[in-house]
């Protein structure tokens, strides 16, 4: 299979500023972002437009930065969460467990909190509600859903997943993300050649595409969080509906 690797100077580092024009012209009511904070001018533009802003933190320090700059709602991302870390203040990203992080952010900020990380049933949802979350962000629970973009080989790999196989890695994108440790992760982490985001992401893109075509789970990025015990069948509506029903019975 022929792959077309990108030239380094063809890789665009996207600025969010162009996207703000669309958000404002379309009169979007809510904007949720991750990987950083918006600049003050953008925050003011969006607030004048009546847009509610949701930013992501992975430490108390990041939560304070978001609150002080006027962000309306904070999404607290525990270390359990699947996918990319939203960290934005440190080279060595904070690796704070959800229990510690959520309760300390609750003690430190006044704005409403959404929690992300490890919610997969009524007990986990009610636990983070007790700790102060008012909203609940769910990812991994939906990986096996009908709407999931995963191919069958990826869903099958997730079904066979063992807890020790989940890791944080920069190998696919240049930013830390939580997913399955496979041959690609191990090989890349054994080198000193991980480029910063978004360069590593672009560089590995063609390989990941080829691996998906060939149903090869050893060379794709399979993001997942630490709560893997129940992979639900059905549509997202059914999965979330069942969760809500279970919560309401408690
Ligand atoms: C496969 C996958 C893809 C994700 N993609 C995004 C994304 O594009 N943007 C984002 O803000 N969060 C993304 N997330 C993170 C989720 O929004 C959420 O924070 C996380 O899944 C919560 O933890 P959980 O996986 O334990 O439920 C992704 C998570 C997974 C598992």
Segment 156-184, tens digit of pLDDT:
999 999 999 999 999 999 999 999 999 99
Name which residue sits closest to atom 19 of ligand 1, judged by CA: 116
Same-domain status, 117 and 211? no
In a domain, 243, yes or no: no
Q: Is 93 left (phi over 0), alpha (psi -120 to 50) or beta?
A: beta
- Do both 27 and 46 map to the same domain? yes
Whether 75 and 41 share a structural domain: yes
Residue 144: count of CB within 10 angstroms of its CB: 19
Distance from the CA of 2 to the center of ligand 1, in angstroms?
A: 31
Q: Do 48 and 158 belong together in one domain?
A: no
Residues 121 and 184 in one domain: no
Q: What is the pTM of this model?
A: 0.94
Distance 47 CA to ligand 1 centre (A): 26
Q: What strand order describes the sheet that includes 73-77? A: 30-32, 52-57, 73-77, 113-116, 135-137
Binding pocket residue ranges, ligand 1, CB within 6 Å: 34, 77, 80-83, 116-119, 137-141, 223-225, 227
User: Which residue, by CA, sits nearest to atom 14 of ligand 1?
Assistant: 83
Please check whether residues 91 and 173 belong to one and the same domain.
Answer: no
Same domain, 29 and 130: yes
Do both 129 and 37 map to the same domain?
yes
Work out which ligand 1 atom sits closest to the CA atom of 222: 1
- Beta carbons of 31 and 46 less than 8 angstroms apart: yes
Neighbouring-strand partners of residue 89: none
- DSSP code of residue 175: S
- Ligand 1: residue of 82, 120, 217 to mutate (most ligand atoms within 8 A of CB) is 82
- Give a yes or no: residue 3 inside a domain: no
The closest residue, in CA terms, to atom 17 on ligand 1 is 139
Each residue's pLDDT, cut to its tens digit, for the chain (250 residues) gives: 666 666 766 666 668 888 999 999 999 999 999 999 999 999 999 999 999 999 999 999 999 999 999 999 999 999 999 999 999 997 678 999 999 999 999 999 999 999 999 999 999 999 999 999 999 999 999 999 999 999 999 999 999 999 999 999 999 999 999 999 999 999 999 998 899 999 999 999 999 999 999 999 999 999 999 998 666 789 999 999 999 999 999 8
What is the position in ligand 1's atom list of the atom closest to the CA of 118? 26
**CB hemisphere CA count around 42 (13 angstroms):** 16
Domain assignment present for residue 248? The answer is no
Separation of 144 CA from ligand 1 center, angstroms?
Answer: 14
- Within 8 A by CB and 6+ apart from 111, the residues are 67, 71, 72, 73, 74
Answer with the one of 84, 104, 138 that is the final residue of a domain. Answer: 138
Q: What is the reported pLDDT for 16? A: 87
- Ligand 1: centre distance to CA 244 (Å): 19
Quote the pLDDT of residue 228. 80
Domain carrying residue 205? 143-232
37 and 134 fall within a common domain: yes
* Domains: count for the chain: 2
**How remote is the CA of residue 190 from the centroid of ligand 1, in Å?**
26
Last residue of a domain, one of 138, 161, 182: 138
Q: Are 78 and 184 part of one and the same domain? A: no
Residue 209 lies in a domain: yes
Q: Which atom of ligand 1 is nearest to the CA of 178?
A: 31
Pocket test for ligand 1, best of 76, 83, 102, 157 (most atoms within 8 A of CB): 83
Indicate if 72 and 27 belong to the same structural domain. yes
Ligand 1 atom nearest to CA at 226: 26
Question: Is residue 242, in this structure, part of any structural domain at all?
Answer: no
**Residue 92: inside a domain:** yes
- The domain that holds 25 is classified in CATH as 3.20.20.70
- Which residue has its alpha carbon closest to ligand 1 atom 28? 83
**Rounded CA gap, 194 and 185, in Å?**
11
Q: Could you say which of 82, 116, 138 is where a domain stops?
A: 138
Question: Does residue 197 sit in the same domain as residue 128?
Answer: no
């Amino acid at each position: 299979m022929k792959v077309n690797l990108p030239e380094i100077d063809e890789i665009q580092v996207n600025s969010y500023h162009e996207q703000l024009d669309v958000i404002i012209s379309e009169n979007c009511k809510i904007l949720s972002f991750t990987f950083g904070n918006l600049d003050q001018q953008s925050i003011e533009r969006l607030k004048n437009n009546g847009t509610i802003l949701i930013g992501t933190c992975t430490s108390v320090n990041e939560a304070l930065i978001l609150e002080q700059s006027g962000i309306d709602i904070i999404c607290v991302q525990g270390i359990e969460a699947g996918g990319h870390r939203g960290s934005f203040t440190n080279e060595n990203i904070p690796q704070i467990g959800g229990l510690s992080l959520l309760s300390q952010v609750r003690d430190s900020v006044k704005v409403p909190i959404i929690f992300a990380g490890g919610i997969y049933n009524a007990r986990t949802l009610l636990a983070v509600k007790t700790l102060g979350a008012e909203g609940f962000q769910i990812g991994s629970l939906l990986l096996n859903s009908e709407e999931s973009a995963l191919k069958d080989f990826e869903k099958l790999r997730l079904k066979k997943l063992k807890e020790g196989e989940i890791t944080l890695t920069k190998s696919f994108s240049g930013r830390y993300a939580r997913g399955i440790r496979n041959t690609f992760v191990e090989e890349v982490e054994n080198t000193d050649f991980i480029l910063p985001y978004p360069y590593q992401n672009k560089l590995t893109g063609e390989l990941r595409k080829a691996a998906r075509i060939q149903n090869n789970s050893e060379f794709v990025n399979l993001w997942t969080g630490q709560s893997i015990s129940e992979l639900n069948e059905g549509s997202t509506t059914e999965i979330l509906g069942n969760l809500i029903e279970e919560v309401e019975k408690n």
